[in-house]
Amino acid sequence: MGETNSVVVDHLVKRFGDLTAVDDVSFTVKSGEIFGFLGPNGSGKSTTIRILCGVIDPTDGNASVLGYNVRTQPEEVKRRIGYMSQRFSLYEDLTVDENLDFYAGVYEVPPERFAERRTYILEMAGLVGRENELAANLSVGWKQRLALGCSIVHEPKMVFLDEPTGGVDPVSRRQFWDLLYEMADSGVTLFVTTHYMDEAEHCHRLAFIYQGEIIALGSPAQIKADQMTSTVIEVDCDDCERALEAIGRLDDVQEAYLYGSMVHANVDDARKAKRTIKEAMGASGVGLREMRIVEPNLEDVFVSLMDKMERR
């Protein structure tokens, strides 16, 4: 396929009354890539994905998916995409098989083809032998994989996943991402929204959306390189809460935040900042174990970006 675009979003706007959920957003998704759509809750992720899947109409602007305009040819789009919504849209009172069967019927998968797909999906989701169990009785990880299976029963070339790993345990999340990689390898384009930063690292390309606007776009490495002009100092101490308070007040620190059991501080002048942090810790009586400069990860980038936006 080469460098074709599966999704082209052009100055997309969606308003709900006075609220602008998506504010003049433009980006493209290349065929065959895993495109991560990142942002805090309420930033406009789901709204964008719903517009692209033809579930809601945009207020302004244009978007096309697989070459079809979502506004004028929504049915053409729907026929060709898979969509896994936030709430794993399974029918809980239907069995695993009945759920698959229903979506196969809705997407008009021919019976012979469905037999193959069914075997493939049951194996993929680890549901072999549980075909007759009610979806309600599956644990969250299985539900999630069954929901994915239902959304790809018709072998779409493009799949939209809206927070597919919400509320799922880390092991299942890992397994799920392995499935996504497999699909991407077979040439399926994936559009995934998430607010997990570690998941974002798995994506080929990312868009950060914040209050309806895209504030960064590119591969994870690119974004880190472009956006992270400041240095990240990791502070290991015995009372993070108090340390965070003390460090956050310093003029040399742009932004301080908890990172696991440590405090991260974004600073411009690392050497000067290290000194002032040490002093501040001494003054507030917090025991400092170690302090080091670390490679910024996506979470650092995102916090620093949001900080910039808020100060703007």
Partner 1 sequence: MSRIFAIGRKEFVHIFRDPRIIMSVFGMPLIQLILFSYALNYDITNIPTAVLDQDKTTTSRQLVQSFSASGYFAIDRTLSTEKQIDDVLTEGADKVIIRVPAGFAKKIAKGGKAPVQVLIDGSDPNTAQTAAGYSAAIAQFWSGKVVAEAFERRGLVAAEGIQPIEPRLRVWYNPDMKSVNFLLPGLIAIIMMNIAIVQTAMAVVREKEYGTIEQLIASPVKRYELMIGKIGPYLGIAIIDIILVSLVGIFLFGVPFRGSIIVMAIASALFIFGSLGLGLIISTMSSSLQTANQMATFLSFLPGFMLSGFVFPIRNMPVVLQWATYLVPARYYLSILRGVFLKGTGPSILWPNILALVIYSTLTIVASALMFKKKM
Asked if 117 interacts with partner 1 (CB under 8 A), we say no
Q: Report, in Å, the least distance between residue 85 CB and partner 1.
A: 5
Asked if residues 105 and 62 have their Cβ atoms less than 8 Å apart, the reply is no
Asked if 98 interacts with partner 1 (CB under 8 A), we say yes
Residue type, 207: A
- From 27, 83, 177, 191, residue interacting with partner 1 (rule: CB under 8 A): 83
Asked if 108 interacts with partner 1 (CB under 8 A), we say yes
Asked if 54 interacts with partner 1 (CB under 8 A), we say yes
DSSP 173-221: HHHHHHHHHHHHHTT-EEEEEES-HHHHHTSSEEEEEETTEEEEEE-HH
Give kind and range of the element (H or E) at residue 140: helix 140-151
- From 8, 13, 94, 124, residue interacting with partner 1 (rule: CB under 8 A): 94
- From 66, 104, 152, 223, residue interacting with partner 1 (rule: CB under 8 A): 104
Asked if 53 interacts with partner 1 (CB under 8 A), we say yes
- From 68, 107, 142, 208, residue interacting with partner 1 (rule: CB under 8 A): 107
Q: Considering only residues 283 through 302, tell me which ones interact with partner 1, judged by CB under 8 A.
A: none
- From 8, 13, 55, 288, residue interacting with partner 1 (rule: CB under 8 A): 55
- From 72, 89, 119, 219, residue interacting with partner 1 (rule: CB under 8 A): 89
- From 9, 38, 81, 192, residue interacting with partner 1 (rule: CB under 8 A): 81
Nearer to partner 1, 89 or 139 (CB): 89
Q: Report, in Å, the least distance between residue 68 CB and partner 1.
A: 12
Asked if residues 83 and 53 have their Cβ atoms less than 8 Å apart, the reply is yes
CA–centroid distance for 124 within its chain? 22
Question: Residue 137 contacts by C-beta under 8 Å, 6 or more apart in sequence?
Answer: none
Asked if residues 79 and 170 have their Cβ atoms less than 8 Å apart, the reply is no
Angle (CA) 182-199-222 rounded to 5° is 100
CA of 118: how far to CAs of 146, 213, 237, 267, in Å? Answer: 11, 40, 53, 54
Count the site residues for partner 1 by CB under 8 A: 30
CA torsion 285-286-287-290 (nearest 10°) is -130
Nearer to partner 1, 165 or 254 (CB): 165
Asked if 51 interacts with partner 1 (CB under 8 A), we say no
Asked if residues 9 and 37 have their Cβ atoms less than 8 Å apart, the reply is no
Asked if 93 interacts with partner 1 (CB under 8 A), we say yes
Nearer to partner 1, 105 or 167 (CB): 105
Report the alpha-carbon distance of residue 123 to residue 129 in Å, rounded.
Answer: 10
Binding site for partner 1 (CB under 8 A): 50, 53-57, 75, 78-79, 81, 83, 85-87, 89-94, 98, 101-108, 151
